[in-house]
Structure 1
Amino acid sequence: MGSSRAQSFGQTEINWDKLDKTKFYVVGAGLFTGVTVALYPVSVVKTRLQVASKDAIDRNAFSIVRRILKTDGIPGLYRGFGTVITGAIPARIIFLSALESTKVAAFKIIEPFKFSEPIQAAIANGLAGMTASVFAQAVFVPIDVVSQKLMVQGYSGYATYNGGLDVARKIVKSDGIRGLYRGFGLSVMTYSPSSAVWWASYGSSQRLIWSKILGYDTEQNKELVPSLTTIVLVQAAGGIFAGAAASCITTPLDTIKTRLQVMGHEKRETATKVVKKLIVEEGWKGLYRGLGPRFFSMSAWGTSMILSYEYLKRLCSKVE
């Protein structure tokens, strides 16, 4: 995958066919569960910020954290976690399988066009990220709908539930199965471009750092193999850059989607009404509710995920 030049300076692009799939999925499930545990509270805070009314007492991330800790303690920061972790494993397997297989195909398709390496990486990674996200939404959206209702239960008048199954049962009873897919279109519109931007930014920024900043594409350095520390730092920098780009571009859609998904049956509104209400109450900045936590979440999650993912690929590569 990628050019021989990329592989010559050790970017360790490990092809999908070089992985032990069983080990990849088993170890990956544990690894990504750990990352989810560490970063889940940020999602809870972001969600509460996005659904807060203009009269809400808690208007920033710190006050929301204080309120949650005061009323519910640490468990309050993990509301809906059980539901998320149950669905995250199959969704992650679908996502990673689609990502890697699409990336391989995309690189082959664009190779004859002779684009520069950063552009090739941006196109192939972007297509792979978008495709993988579309497939994963089939599992992720119902989990998202249920977990977000649990995240905001009892907050600003939102209903209280007895766990994820109770939420799912009440949604199906009032809206049918389609209720579990509330905001599916917006989720695809949010996460697919977000995933495309994230993976495109990650793939291209990595190669720009290697070539333009570290100079590994020069005649003197192209045969050098960088240290593992250098590889990890470049991957982390790529993850941070990718998180910044994706969060800035897709936060408005995420805010609208979250508000639609947490509404009760009796308060149903269209996406257009949600947008108008936000703009009337707060102006265009209302669409960027939760940008800070979303930026932190996407950067922290993205960097943690990509370092875990690259480590996982090295760990599960087949011995030649």
Structure 2
Amino acid sequence: MDASRSQIQSFGQTEINWDKLEKTKFFVVGAGIFTGVTVALYPVSLIKTRLQVASKDAGERGAFSVIRGILRTDGIPGLYRGFGTVVTGAIPTRIIFLTALETTKAATFRLVEPFKLSKPTQAAIANGVAGMAAAVCSQAVFVPIDVVSQKLMVQGYSGHATYNGGLDVARKVLKVDGIRGLYRGFGLSVLTYSPSSAVWWASYGSSQRLIWRFLGHGSTEHEESAASLWTIVSVQAAGGIFAGATASCITTPLDTIKTRLQVMGPEKKLTVREVVKGLVADDGWKGLYRGLGPRTLVCERSIDLPLNNRELVCS
């Protein structure tokens, strides 16, 4: 542990190497934290989804009007429609994501070390490659969960069908479209989450190192100084905010299109081009950025474990 703390306190090192982690504790702690974050932010994700699929004549077009409408008709439980499906599928998805992320990150760091790049540049490359690889691997499990949960999120809203739970959604989708129906929007999901994850992790890794440099850690006079836990958490939080905003601004249009494709009923077989034309016709090009604010808050799908918890699982 002392060696790990020394590594953490050195300039820009806010990660513990994959080979030093006790994997079982890492996944148990990670699943617990991720579930807690999902509980806290799930209503924001639901609101984002409803904003993205709202029709032109929908009465609820803003986040606050959507919240009022849900609370009026369903109360607090309405903010958690589809939550059980998401949690059930998110845990294995998260394990796949974290495994691919950490192993790829470690391998990429080793590959770029001989080039003698700056620490922020190394972090951006290694984290970006790892984030993209992890997103691609996890989509095979996540897309069916996404399709089912999003149909539950918007059921009865703006003309969408109603269901009797996640199994009913899956049964009806399989009956109409087969297994392909559960993977509707898979290509767009990969195109959305791969660059989003790459941008998030690249921004997160490099911004943290820049912040540490700004704070003076890594310079000669600070080599022996230990950053407090509050400072470490604050730096990580600032990096996460910057990364979330950057990734959301770049990938929200793809996410909006993907969501519309995934929630449309069997009677509607729109193409990507037709979805884009409909959004632009309703709201202009800003229609592609529906739900940008909420999506910035729910970019937690790619957030790594907090540093103090990574210390706990270090062997």
Bin the TM-score by the shorter chain: over 0.9
* Superposed structure 1 runs of 4+ greater than 6 Å apart: none
Q: What amino acid is aligned across from residue 150 of structure 1 in structure 2?
A: L
Residue 134 of structure 2 is matched in structure 1 by: 132
Could you tell me whether the CA contact under 8 Å between 2:9 and 2:225 is conserved in 1? Answer: no
State the SS of the aligned residue for 1:265: coil
Residue 3 of structure 2 is matched in structure 1 by: none
Residue 219 of structure 1 is matched in structure 2 by: 220
Residue 235 of structure 2 is matched in structure 1 by: 234
Residue 39 of structure 1 is matched in structure 2 by: 41
Q: Does 1:88 align with 2:90?
A: yes
Shift of 1:180: 0.2
Q: What amino acid is aligned across from residue 172 of structure 2 in structure 1?
A: K
| Counterpart among 144, 151, 154 of residue 152 in structure 1 | 154
Q: How does 1:1-320 map to 2 (within 5 A)?
A: 8-9=10-11, 11-211=13-213, 213-298=214-299, 301=300, 305-306=303-304, 308-318=305-315
Shift of 1:113: 1.1
Shift of 1:10: 7.3
State the SS of the aligned residue for 1:266: coil
1:10 and 1:129, CA in 2 relative to 1: closer, same or farther beyond 3 A? closer
Spell out, residue by residue over 1:43-65, the C-alpha distance to the aligned partner (whole angstroms, 9 max, x if none): 10000000001111001000000
Q: What amino acid is aligned across from residue 286 of structure 1 in structure 2?
A: G
Q: What amino acid is aligned across from residue 293 of structure 2 in structure 1?
A: G
Unaligned runs of 5+ in 2: 1-5
1:109 and 1:10, CA in 2 relative to 1: closer, same or farther beyond 3 A? closer
Q: What amino acid is aligned across from residue 192 of structure 1 in structure 2?
A: S
Could you tell me whether the CA contact under 8 Å between 1:83 and 1:147 is conserved in 2? Answer: yes
Give distance in 2, aligned partners of 1:146 and 1:27: 26
Q: TM-score, normalised by structure 2?
A: 0.95
Give distance in 2, aligned partners of 1:61 and 1:188: 27
Spell out, residue by residue over 1:133-158, the C-alpha distance to the aligned partner (whole angstroms, 9 max, x if none): 00000010000000000000011111
Give distance in 1, aligned partners of 2:132 and 2:287: 26
Shift of 1:311: 3.0
State the SS of the aligned residue for 1:137: helix
State the SS of the aligned residue for 1:220: helix
Q: TM-score, normalised by structure 1?
A: 0.93
Unaligned runs of 5+ in 1: none
Q: What amino acid is aligned across from residue 275 of structure 2 in structure 1?
A: V
Q: What amino acid is aligned across from residue 310 of structure 1 in structure 2?
A: L
Moved more, 25-34 or 117-126: 25-34
Q: What amino acid is aligned across from residue 156 of structure 1 in structure 2?
A: S
What percentage of residue pairs aligned between the two structures are identical?
Answer: 74
Q: What amino acid is aligned across from residue 275 of structure 1 in structure 2?
A: V
Give distance in 2, aligned partners of 1:224 and 1:177: 56
Moved more, 124-133 or 25-34: 25-34
Shift of 1:13: 1.9
Could you tell me whether the CA contact under 8 Å between 1:95 and 1:135 is conserved in 2? Answer: yes
Q: What amino acid is aligned across from residue 76 of structure 1 in structure 2?
A: G
Give distance in 1, aligned partners of 2:239 and 2:251: 18
